Structure formats: C-alpha cells, structure tokens
Amino acid sequence: MGRTARAHAVPYLLVLPAVLVIALVLGYPMYRLIGLSFQHYALAEIISHKTTWIGLSNYRTIFTDAQFWTILQRTVEFTAFNVGATMVIGTAIAMLLRNVSGWVKVLVNTAMVFVWATPVVVAVTVWQWLVDQQSGVLNYLLTHVLHVGNFERHDWFENPLSGFGIISALVVWGALPFVVITLYAGISQIPHELEEAARVDGATNWGVFRNVVYPIVKPLFLIVTSLSVIWDFGVFNQVYIMLNARPTADYYLMSIYSYQESFGVGQYGRGAAIAMVTVVILIVAAFFYIRQLLRIGEIK
Amino acid sequence: MSTSTQPIAASRETSTAAVSVRRQSRRRFKRIGADVAGLLVFVVMIFPVYWMIATAFKSGDAIASLTPTWFPTHPTLANFRDAVSRPFFWSSVRNSVIVVVATVSFSLVVAFLAAVAIARFKFYGRKAMMVAIVLVQMIPLVALIIPMYVLLARVHLTDNLLGLILTYFAFVLPYTVWMLRGFVLGVPAELEEAAMVDGCSRLGAFFRILVPLVAPGFVATSIYAAIQAWNEYILAYVLLKQHNETITVWLASLTTLRGTAWGTLMAGSTLIALPIVGFFLLVQHRVAAGLTAGAVKG
C-alpha cells in the first residue's frame, strides 16, 4: 500500500522542479503582465511599490489611438509577407534538394547550418554592413555589376517600405534554414516510386508537388507555418538593432511599440496592454500548432 | 495527359537500350539544372557569412574603398586585435560563459527528470502538461520583458547575472524537456525492465541503463541550450546595466554607438559566431529532429 502510493508519487516528483521553474519564471510574469495591463504603472510606481488599478483605461487609450491600428496592420502585413516568402522559398529549396548532386546538397546544407547558427545580433550587424550607404556591397552590386540603376550612396532606410524590404530579406534569410531542413527531412521520406508513378501518369512538377508531396507533408507544413507566424509576429532585434536602437515611429512593429511605451516612455501599464494584444493574437496561431501536434499523435 | 504518355508508348517500340539512354540524358540534363539552382541558393545564403569573415581580415583601406575587394588579398589580424581590446570585450565574454554554463547545467538536470516522467510514466495531468510545455514556448519574449523587469527590479535582481540565468533557464526548459523526452522514448523500456528482472533496482536501472543511453541527447540538448543563452539579446539588454553586459549586448552597443568601424564589427561578429557555429554543426540534425520529431509519421 505504502509502496504503491510512493510509486504513484514518482512522476509528480520528477516533473515538480520543471513545473515550479516554469510557473514561477514564466507563469507568474505572464499573470503579472495581465495585471499590469489594467494598472497605471510608471517609474514612480516601481520605486514606491504602489499600484493603481485603472480598469480598461490602458486598452481604451491604445484602441482609440490611430497609431495602434497602423502598427497592428503593419505587423500583420509584415508577418504575412515574411511567412509567405519563407514558406514558398523554403519549400522550393527543399524540393530542389531532392534533385541536386550529393556535393551540391552538402554545400547547401552547410550554408544553411552556418546561417541557422549565426546569432541574430551578428546577422543584423552583418546585414547593416551589406546595405551600408557608403561602402556597402549591395549598392555596389546593383550599380556596377547588375546595372539596375544608380544606387551609389543609396540609403535603404530613408523610405520605410524599402527599409522593411531589407529587414524582411534578413528575416527570411535567417528563417530559411529551419524551414528547409525540416521540410526536406519530411519530403525525403516520400518514396520515389510515388513520384515516378505520378510522372508516368503525366503529372507536371507542380502536379507532383500538389498531389503527391503536399498531402504527405501537410502536417509538417502546417507546424512550420504556425511556428513561422509566431516567430515573425514577434520580430524585435532585426528592426531595433538594424535601426541602431532608435527606430522612428514608421518602423514600429507591435513588439517595438510595446517596448518603447514601456522602457522608452516609462508607461509600463500601457506597454503591457499592447503586449497582451500580441499574446492574444499569437494564442490563435498557437492553437493551430497544438491542434496539429495532437492530431498527428505527437502529444498522446 | 494523352500527349505526355505518347512518348512512353512510342518508346516501347524502340529498343530498351535507346529508352534508357534517352531517359538518362534527360535525367542528366535535369540534374545539371538543379545543380546550378542549388549552387545559386548556396551563394546567396552563404554570402553574408562569407562577407563577415572576409571583411574581418581586410585592412581599413580595403574596407572603406568604394570598389569592394572580393577576397582579402592582404589578410590582417588588426581588426581582431582591435575588437578584443575594445572596452568590456573580455568581461562580456566572461559573463556570457557564466550564463551559458549555468543555464545548461540547471536545464539539463531539471529537464531530464521531467522528460523521464513524461516518457516513462502514465499519470494524471500528463497530457495537459505536454500541451502547456508547447504553449509556453509560444509566448513572445518581448511580452514577458515588461513584467520580468518590474519583478526583478523590485527584488533588486536587475543588473545581476542570477536574474538573467533564471530567466534563460525557464525559457530553454520547455524545449529541452521536449527534446530529451524524444531521446528517452528512443531507449526501449524493455532494457530497463530486463535489468530490473536481473536484480537491478529501479534507480540502478535508471543510472546504469537509461542515463548512458540518453548521453547523445544530453550533448544535443546542452548545445541547444548553450546556443540560446549565448545568442539571446533583449533580456540581457534590459536586465543588465551597461558595462556588465553579455557578448551580444556588447556587439550591439558597438554597432549602435559607433556604427562605422566595420572591420572591428565584423571581427567581433566572427568571434561571437564562431564557437556557436562550431557547436551547431555537431548537432543540427538532432535539433531539427527534436522540434518536429515524428511530425511526418501521420
């Protein structure tokens, strides 16, 4: 009797430390974030340890602010573009990898691993150098090698649209390794006979992808897409460091907006409310991710 | 449809040798096209990394020149010397190493225990816990910075490595549990049962059978955790004051404050990226597999 009771307790004891750490260091701040979003909380409150509950006031302030809606729309468009580009290019490269010679595959894989491992801060610094106004290699390439126009001393960040173009290129470049390696792992498990049979029946490249490859890797595809949505919606470093920690309002995404409201302006309560909007949106994306994991039996 | 099957029908009449030759040449043609496209992908992906390393070895004149030199013809170590002699380089390396070692050791022990429970035991709340583990990984870091800063500021743990270590520990924990669970599942439970039949205690089977067999998982998991802790930026930037920073904050401050010393910046970037790329090459396969393990089963 005592022995079985002890045996029952074993799994709970084993998970206890992990649960405690996650609950205290992630769960409690999450709970506090919700609280903060209903409070007036500025520098004075941090020092005095006092809190003032103001109900929905923070939410009312941001929802009636035109800037909030502009930034939300910008973040959604930024995410949609990056996820779309990442998935299309990533899938194309993964499909391509099935047909290349062994040595080319090794080269591409090595490049992917190098990019994957590069710390984001390093990647941003390197890209700043690539697009540098004075001696950046991109302006030189466009002007003197590809001859698409005069890009000498061209400032890519003067116009937010072109600035976001560079930032998106950086984000997609950094996201591709995970997508390619994961999708290729799935695609390479599809028996070649299936594809050959489809080709004998007259399937085109697109037909093979649409009717043979995609149905098989669909679960993987959905997982990678929802993860990409979650990651791209929360992009911070690529904008913040790229613009030397002083992004103008034209470059605010939800993450930067909530950060600036909190640490720039000192309105932690309002920053928390903005962060809460992000969390709620991401929960929707996470829902699809988790449902997919449950469906394929990864969680059982 | 009918047009595309015609060549095959026609070729049946010719000798099989001719068919295989034609098919082979078509396949070779396709292979060459794919190889060219693959090489293009390689060049575009690797170029920023190459450019970082190449610039790091160039002289100041070559870097400032309006016509770039594609290869450092007169390589110099001056940029590296300059980078490591910048203020706070070594102190931030030391801080990063402390944070990485602490994060890895804490998360490995705690995650392994939880992974064993999830992989080996049936208990109430197990499925809910797995969902929770996946869910907490979805919380954006930026959303948690505000309450974390407020909380740590109250207990005076900002500007303290311990606060940073605790947050990294919690952030890598869900995924390390998930990853190690995969490795534990890879060891057949029958092995432990057999050892127990042979008179080994449960704890003995645990240490003599499971721990040694999961060893590759420990390596992969610790490298994953090390990479996360080494690469993280925002939390370190917010939670640590200037001059007590980690290596990524050091690099970013070099960029944001004195953004034109490209040679030094690229040398610093190379130094920071190098250990992590090396580690990653060792485990990249495992990390990818862990994140989507079994996702292609269905």
Of A11, A185, A237, the CB nearest to B121: A11
DSSP per-residue letters across A17-67: HHHHHHIIIIIHHHHHHHHHTTEE--HHHHHH---EE-TTHHHHHHHT-HH
What is the value of pTM for the model shown? 0.87
CB A15 within 8 A of CB B113: yes
A163 pLDDT band, cuts 50/70/90, is: very high
Say yes or no to pLDDT of A45 above 90: no
- Tell me what ipTM this predicted complex has: 0.89
**Contact (CB<8Å) A111/B63:** no
Indicate if the alpha-carbon torsion angle B68, B70, B75, B80 is positive or negative.
positive
- Please report where in the chains the tokens 């929905």 appear, as a residue: A56
Confidence (pLDDT) at B10: 47
Q: Pick the range with the lowest mean pLDDT from A59-73, A209-223, B275-289.
A: B275-289
Nearest CA in chain B to A33: B147
Which 3 state secondary structure label does DSSP give A70?
helix
Output phi, psi for A285, to 5 deg: -65, -40
Helix locations, chain A, DSSP H: 2-22, 28-36, 43-48, 57-63, 66-96, 102-117, 120-130, 137-140, 160-187, 192-200, 205-208, 214-233, 237-240, 254-259, 268-295
Nearest CA in chain B to A107: B42
CB A267 within 8 A of CB A43: no
Q: Is A5 near chain B, with CB under 8 Å? A: no
- pLDDT digit string, tens, across residues A243-298: 988 899 999 999 999 999 998 888 999 999 999 999 998 888 788 778 877 887 76
- pLDDT digit string, tens, across residues B132-190: 887 787 777 778 888 888 888 877 778 889 989 999 999 899 889 988 988 888 888 88
- pLDDT digit string, tens, across residues B16-75: 666 677 777 777 888 898 999 999 999 999 999 999 999 999 988 888 887 888 888 889
**Contact (CB<8Å) B294/A298:** yes
Of A18, A116, A216, the CB nearest to B284: A116
Nearest CA in chain B to A41: B150
Query: Across the strands, what pairs with A40?
Result: A52
Which 3 state secondary structure label does DSSP give B123?
coil
Of B46, B66, B298, the CB nearest to A219: B298
Nearest CA in chain B to A181: B288
Q: Kindly tell me the burial class for residue B265, based on how many C-beta atoms sit within 10 Å of its own C-beta (0-12, 13-18, 19 or more).
A: buried
**Contact (CB<8Å) A282/B140:** yes
Average pLDDT over residues B106-131: 90
Closest listed residue to residue B46, CA positions, set A175, A102, A146, A110: A110
Mutation target to probe the A interface, by most A beta carbons within 10 A, among B12, B26, B39, B45 is: B45
Which 3 state secondary structure label does DSSP give A267?
coil
Q: What CA–CA distance (Å, rounded) separates A254 from A61?
A: 15
Indicate if the alpha-carbon torsion angle B22, B5, A215, B38 is positive or negative.
positive
Query: Across the strands, what pairs with A53?
Result: A39
Q: What CA–CA distance (Å, rounded) separates A10 from B206?
A: 13
CB A178 within 8 A of CB A116: yes
Mutation target to probe the B interface, by most B beta carbons within 10 A, among A20, A28, A129, A227 is: A129
**Chain A positions in Cβ-Cβ contact with residue B116 (cut-off 8 Å):** 14
Q: Is A293 near chain B, with CB under 8 Å? A: yes
**Contact (CB<8Å) B143/A200:** no
Number of Cβ within 10 Å of residue B53's Cβ equals 16
**Chain A positions in Cβ-Cβ contact with residue B273 (cut-off 8 Å):** 117-119, 122
Indicate if the alpha-carbon torsion angle B145, B150, B152, B156 is positive or negative.
positive
CB B127 within 8 A of CB B133: no
Confidence (pLDDT) at B113: 94
Of A26, A114, A295, the CB nearest to B170: A26
A73 pLDDT band, cuts 50/70/90, is: very high
**Chain A positions in Cβ-Cβ contact with residue B131 (cut-off 8 Å):** 290, 294, 299
Confidence (pLDDT) at B256: 66
Which domains occur in chain A, in start order? 65-295 (1.10.3720.10)
Number of Cβ within 10 Å of residue B232's Cβ equals 27
B8 pLDDT band, cuts 50/70/90, is: very low
Q: What CA–CA distance (Å, rounded) separates A123 from B52?
A: 9
Token pair for B56: 């790091």
Angstroms from B260 CA to nearest CA on chain A = 9
Q: Is A262 near chain B, with CB under 8 Å? A: yes
Say yes or no to pLDDT of B6 above 50: no
**Chain B positions in Cβ-Cβ contact with residue A282 (cut-off 8 Å):** 138-140
A51 pLDDT band, cuts 50/70/90, is: confident
Angstroms from B102 CA to nearest CA on chain A = 15
The letter for the amino acid at B14 is T
Q: CA A217 → CA A86, A108, A185, B294, B296, distances in Å?
A: 16, 21, 10, 12, 6
More confident residue, A83 or B66: A83
Say yes or no to pLDDT of A93 above 90: yes
B-proximal residues of A, 50-89, CB under 8 Å: none
CA A288, distance to chain mean position in Å, is 15
Look over chain B and give the mean of its residue pLDDT values, rounded to a whole number.
83
- pLDDT digit string, tens, across residues B206-229: 888 888 888 888 888 888 889 889
